[in-house]
Amino acid sequence: MTSLDNKPTGKVHFIGAGPGAPDLITVRGLKLIESCPVCLYAGSLVPEAIVAAAPKDALVRDTAPMALDEILAVMEEACREGQDVARVHSGDPSLYGAIAEQIRRLKELGIAYDVTPGVPAFAAAAAALGQELTIPEVSQSVVITRTAMQSSKMPEGENLVAFAKTGATLAVHLSVRNLLAIERDLTPVVGGDCPVIVAYRVGWPDEDFIRTDLANVREKVREKKLTRTALIFIGRALDADEFRDSALYDASHSHILRAATRDA
């Protein structure tokens, strides 16, 4: 119902749908979709199978062809009618989810919101590969980043060369069409033989993975004709096989829950 002063009483729920597989959404996220009378989803990245869980009489709209003002207008109308809105984004909405500008507008309108996390693409890709991204004494950090093309520019100091110099595993989003620059910039830092994995459409039926190195990644991606929806991993941790065991389960290492074994 609409309140007497027309103050919005509905709430917007930002929901991370995960990378694509319908069964990778959280229980909380699925329950919100099942309960909201309005469901807005990014159709270019969120499969219809996920929003099929919305109530039968729900308003379900693909926001891919909509501008920000149009999306906010639907949210505002619903919330002023006392209806909750499921705003479904791919992956985890805290990473390149474009929720910050929506939240800013919701605050201006006095509309309540919350955020339900989702499985990020880099985590789903690593799982599908059976890959740990943080290998002891090889790489203990993961840098989630992108390169600047037609989108907003990168902040000063945030660039692949600076990140690569740390030895961290790089998870580069939104950059599969920028491989020439990536190869040019990183080869002097990590070498052309540095392992690279390109993860395409993780969690979708047509997901694919390219294992290669920095010197050959452009050719391999060109052969597959990949132009979008791909994540690029770069780093020595990707093919490390000679490394020390983690101290976590080392019998000679003691911690609060386990004493060290004397003869270990």
Average pLDDT value for the chain: 92
Q: What is the pLDDT of residue 83?
A: 98
Q: Across residues 170-191, what is the average pLDDT?
A: 96
Tens digits of residue pLDDT in 91-144: 999 999 999 999 999 999 999 999 999 999 999 999 999 999 999 999 999 999
Answer yes or no: is pLDDT of 247 > 80: no
Res. 152 pLDDT band, cuts 50 70 90: confident
Answer yes or no: is pLDDT of 252 > 70: no
Res. 245 pLDDT band, cuts 50 70 90: confident
Sign of CA dihedral 95, 96, 101, 103: negative
Q: What is the pLDDT of residue 153?
A: 86
Q: What is the pLDDT of residue 1?
A: 40
Q: Across residues 69-82, what is the average pLDDT?
A: 98
Res. 2 pLDDT band, cuts 50 70 90: very low
Q: Across residues 191-214, what is the average pLDDT?
A: 97
State the pTM of this model: 0.88
Res. 243 pLDDT band, cuts 50 70 90: confident
Which residue has better confidence, 3 or 19? 19
Answer yes or no: is pLDDT of 4 > 90: no
- Full DSSP string of 144-213: EEE--SSSPPPPTT--HHHHHTTTPEEEEES-GGGHHHHHHHHHHHH-TT-EEEEEESTTSTT-EEEEEE
Q: What is the pLDDT of residue 3?
A: 45
Q: Across residues 24-48, what is the average pLDDT?
A: 96
Burial class (CB in 10 A: 0-12, 13-18, 19+), 35: middle
**Phi, psi for residue 189 in degrees, rounded to 5:** -95, -50
